Structure 1
Amino acid sequence: MEKINEIWEEHKDKIFLIVISIVILSVLLLPRIKATSSINGGDMQVQGQSQSNYELGENSSSSQLVSTMSVNEETNSQQKIRVDVKGAVVHPGVVTIKADQRVDAVIEKSGGVTKNADLDQVNLAHKLTDQMLIYIPAIGEQVQVNSPVLIRQSQENEVDESERSAAETTDANEDLAGKSGSKVNLNSATKEQLTELNGIGDKKADQIIAYRQQNGNFKTIDDLKNVSGIGDKIFESLADQITVN
């Protein structure tokens, strides 16, 4: 005990100084520790709220998309159109029907077909459009009505379109060949054909025709240089485009 008292007496000033320092440090650091804890806790809370809001937004967008698609499908299925039904049906006339229906549905709504109806000529799966004419022919009838649901007319339209495209292609090829390969005959060319030659305008074309009328046919293409206003330069630019055969 005496030894402890001796130590205390000897070092009490230092001990007091250490204790006071610890107290001061505690007072200074404690608010900072609390603030840091609060910030960390707040960040965790904000992150949790953000994730919840994101999940909520994502689920909401998906629900809205599904809802929009459902509304569109329901609108399309409820939309009404009017078609004109003629020919071998029990009740011909204008029929109001859903837009997503086909020919067989509108025939049924018209009371069905008559006994002499020729359904072999009709595409029953043809999809309806507003103002469509639906014609059901009778057996043996030579149909004169233009209706898109008739198989024979559809095939003929396809053939006509194919033939028309082929004819247009042939004409285009002939025009291209005429422009690139054929030559203008100086002895039979019209004014329009002559003006297509390099360096030949309306006036020179008239002079070529006048020369031809006065002197007879050109014997060679070189005779073209005898026409007033056509010199060597113009002749060289069009020599490969002309003939006298």
Structure 2
Amino acid sequence: MPMFKKSLLILLVLALAVLGGTMYGYYREQQTIALDPAVIEQAEAKRTVTVYVCGEVKKPGLVTLTEGQRVADAVNAVGGVIETADIDHINMAALLEDGMQVRVPLRIGGAEERSKSAGTGKNAEGQINLNTATEKELQELPGIGPAMSARIIEYREEHGDFQNIEDVKQVRGIGNAKFEKLKDKVTI
């Protein structure tokens, strides 16, 4: 019987060692898993975006900001806008993306002139103003449907007013052929 007790004791010690090792390994694994999300959050928090801010701002240039900031933050980082800026035609709430250009447009005409032209997108000759026309008015143009008129307005909001009628070709979906059909029917 003493031999049986020794064997049982050795078996019990081995079982406790295996159980202890298993528990220790599980504990270490849980600690590692708990630390991983914190490391990932720190890495994400340090991401930056670099944008170029130009137009009617005090100090145009490159600005590096943290990811998730808005156009207004980039404009403020270069000293803000100057008195000739047209802040009604730039989306200050848009999220910044790395490598983008933020152009603050020049205000054309006084407030009275803008309010008169904002009422209609057509001039006396019946031409449609690309800078003031509504989606419905833009759809009167040949080859411009609801999707294309929405793209024109989206482009106008992101980049400011069109400086000449050829700028409308920068809108995705408007090429030379479509431009030729509508160039005599539009103005800025």
TM-score, structure 2 normalization = 0.53
1:80 & 1:122 partners in 2: Cα distance? 19
Match of 1:124 among 75, 92, 102: 92
1:72 & 1:160 partners in 2: Cα distance? 35
Tell me if structure 2 keeps the 8 A contact 1:99–1:128: no
TM-score, structure 1 normalization = 0.42
SS in 2 for 1:149: helix
| Structure with more contact order per residue of length (Cα contacts < 8 Å, sep ≥ 6) | 2
Aligned 1:206-221 pairs, distance under 5 A: none
Aligned sequence identity (%): 19
Query: Which residue does the alignment assign to 2:4?
Result: 32
Q: Which amino acid letter does the alignment assign opposite residue 149 of structure 1?
A: E
Query: Which residue does the alignment assign to 2:122?
Result: none
Query: Which residue does the alignment assign to 1:50?
Result: 22
1:148 & 1:48 partners in 2: Cα distance? 65
Query: Which residue does the alignment assign to 1:97?
Result: 64
Q: Which amino acid letter does the alignment assign opposite residue 139 of structure 1?
A: R
Cα distance change on mapping 1:74 and 1:38 into 2, 3 Å:
same
1:147 & 1:132 partners in 2: Cα distance? 16
Which runs of 5 or more structure 2 residues have no equivalent in the other structure? Answer: 110-129, 132-154, 163-167, 179-188
Q: Which amino acid letter does the alignment assign opposite residue 72 of structure 1?
A: A
CA RMSD of the aligned region, Å?
Answer: 3.4
Deviating above 6 A after TM superposition, structure 1's stretches of 4 or more consecutive aligned residues are none
Q: CA deviation at 1:52?
A: 2.2
2:24 & 2:8 partners in 1: Cα distance? 24
Higher helix share: 1
Q: Which has the larger radius of gyration?
A: 1
Which runs of 5 or more structure 1 residues have no equivalent in the other structure? Answer: 1-28, 168-245
1:71 & 1:149 partners in 2: Cα distance? 32
Cα distance change on mapping 1:147 and 1:81 into 2, 3 Å:
farther
